[in-house]
Amino acid sequence: MWMRSADGVRRLGTAGALAVAAGGTAAGALPVREPSGLWGTHGTTVTTAGAVLAYAGLTLLVLAWWAYGRLLAGDGREAPGARYTVVTLGWWAAPIVLAPPLHSADVYSYIAQGAMVLEGHDVYAHGPSVLGPDSLGADAAASVGGNWTDTPAPYGPVFLLLAKAVVWATGGTVVPAVLGMRLIAVAALVLTVWAVRGLAVECGADERRALWLAVLNPLLLLHVVGGVHNDGLMIALMLAGVLLALRGRPSAGSAVVALAVMIKSPAALALLFIGLIVVRRGEGPLVRRLVKGLPGPGLMAVAVVVAASLLGGTGFGWLRTQSVAGAIHTPLSLTSDLGQAAGLAARALTGAELATVKGAVQTFGLAVALAAIAFLAVRTLLPWRGRPPLGPVHGLGLSLLVLVALSPMVQPWYLLWGTAAVAATAAAWDSPVVRVLLVLSVGLVYETAPSGHTPPHGFVLGALACACALVALRRGATSPALTPPAGPTVAPAPGGPAGSTGRASASR
């Protein structure tokens, strides 16, 4: 019975988050050198026990998230509201905030790169290995994994300046520096909550469902809060910029999106859709509106990027390092896997270079993605086969998902790029896209181990989780994606779980 109450589900998720954090202290992405011993490494037995505990906690968290979705499909008196959902997010995130890095060691790269900027190294020409043993970021650099040790930073100057500030404030000491970077991730989470709620209102969607899929999602908790990935900050700024544009401030929105681009470049797609928002609201012939509306967001963003790059002192080297990540093979990249297979076959048959064939397949995948994005942009302006134009936010979310699906490098948390935008649009909840996002969110949390490695059993667990999610959907284990609320939300008595569900307005 407790699984059918909002309070019971909240407690289940909190217990799962506590187990994830506790297991992570033994099996997380622990630093190689940590002078205080707070996050020291352990023996095989303790590490294995910690991993088992972390996986068990993760499973509880996933079950709680799914059960929460079922509650949202209930009637108005029982379904938890937006305010209750935000508080639940706090409960689930709090245990993870003080844990070591979970499911990724990327935060050590961030700290090392911040130290490189602080010491005057060119982060766009060298990797963390350039730091000497007496450097502020030496301990973090020692914990950078594999290929990333010698890989230049693919991140924009805004993020590197934030990392520099954290290193300066903490002296580069590993534990305080990680927690400093996590504070930035938590701030990004708060901004994402604000933006998702605002976008849901603007797009006529249900705030509760949008928050559930976008921010209560275990994939986000695991990789933005636990793994401290800067994708969370990119998403937050990108969505905030789009929201400002929807509220009639496209120039300010474009400036904010430019900041997101200087975290990670895929946010640049939002500039296209801000331009389309301006075009849709203009008057006169379509061609004239396109000429007047489309260039503005890009020009504003260029001005902000140039100013930030010059004032920040890191220069424009980040523009040439955007492809460095694509050189690292990730099994989740469809085009990289196909390219690898085609390259091996071509080498065996004709002696062709594997890298050449693989690169051609990856390039073709990006070309297909660009064509699909162009189609979605046109669909944002024009009807097609009797269907009305797409909403700009919906179009942005779908475009980001297409880009991820066909990118030469794909990580589990990349799914979050488009998920929040899709979740905030009313039209999305009537499409199969949300079902796919539900299933993938459940499966991808298992792909990486708490240590940040990608073991074979991660794919097995992920496939099993996806299969379970599909079976649950087919058997009617309802979620907001499948069953709309049975009636209008009724305000509960003070202190009740429903809280405020927000307003609804016509889609823009």
Predicted local confidence at residue 500, as pLDDT:
39
CB 193 within 8 A of CB 211: yes
Q: Phi/psi at 387 (nearest 5 deg)?
A: -95, 145
Q: Which residues pair with 384 in a beta bridge?
A: 387
Closest CA to 200 of 424, 504, 502, 488: 424
Predicted local confidence at residue 497, as pLDDT:
43
CB 462 within 8 A of CB 42: no
| Residue 497 exposed, middle or buried by CB count within 10 Å (0-12, 13-18, 19+) | buried
Look at residue 390 and give its three-state secondary structure: coil
Closest CA to 208 of 488, 506, 508: 488
CB 502 within 8 A of CB 200: yes
pLDDT string in tens for the chain (508-residue length): 556 788 899 999 999 999 999 999 999 999 988 777 788 888 889 999 999 999 999 999 999 999 999 888 865 556 788 999 999 999 999 999 999 999 999 999 999 999 999 998 989 888 888 888 888 888 888 888 777 788 888 898 999 999 999 999 999 899 999 999 999 999 999 999 999 999 999 999 999 999 999 999 999 999 999 999 999 999 999 999 999 999 999 999 999 999 999 999 999 999 999 999 999 988 888 888 888 888 999 999 999 999 988 887 777 887 887 777 666 778 888 998 898 898 889 888 888 888 888 889 999 999 999 999 999 999 999 888 888 889 999 999 999 999 999 999 899 999 999 999 999 998 788 789 999 999 999 999 999 999 988 899 999 999 999 999 999 888 765 555 455 544 443 333 333 444 333 333 333 3
Q: How many CB atoms lie within 10 A of CB 453?
A: 14
Predicted local confidence at residue 76, as pLDDT:
52
The contacts of residue 467 (CB under 8 Å, 6+ apart) are none
335 alpha-carbon distance from chain centroid = 21
Predicted local confidence at residue 202, as pLDDT:
93
Tokens of 484: 């709309």
Closest CA to 107 of 19, 192, 174: 174
The contacts of residue 187 (CB under 8 Å, 6+ apart) are 233
32 to 28, 114, 136, 140, 180: CA distances (angstroms): 12, 18, 15, 8, 19
Closest CA to 66 of 394, 502, 468: 468
Distance CA 424, CA 210 (A): 5
Q: Which residues of 198-208 are buried (b: 16+ CB within 10 A; e: fewer)?
A: bbbbbbbbbbb
User: Would you put residue 146 in left (φ > 0), alpha (ψ -120 to 50) or beta?
Assistant: left
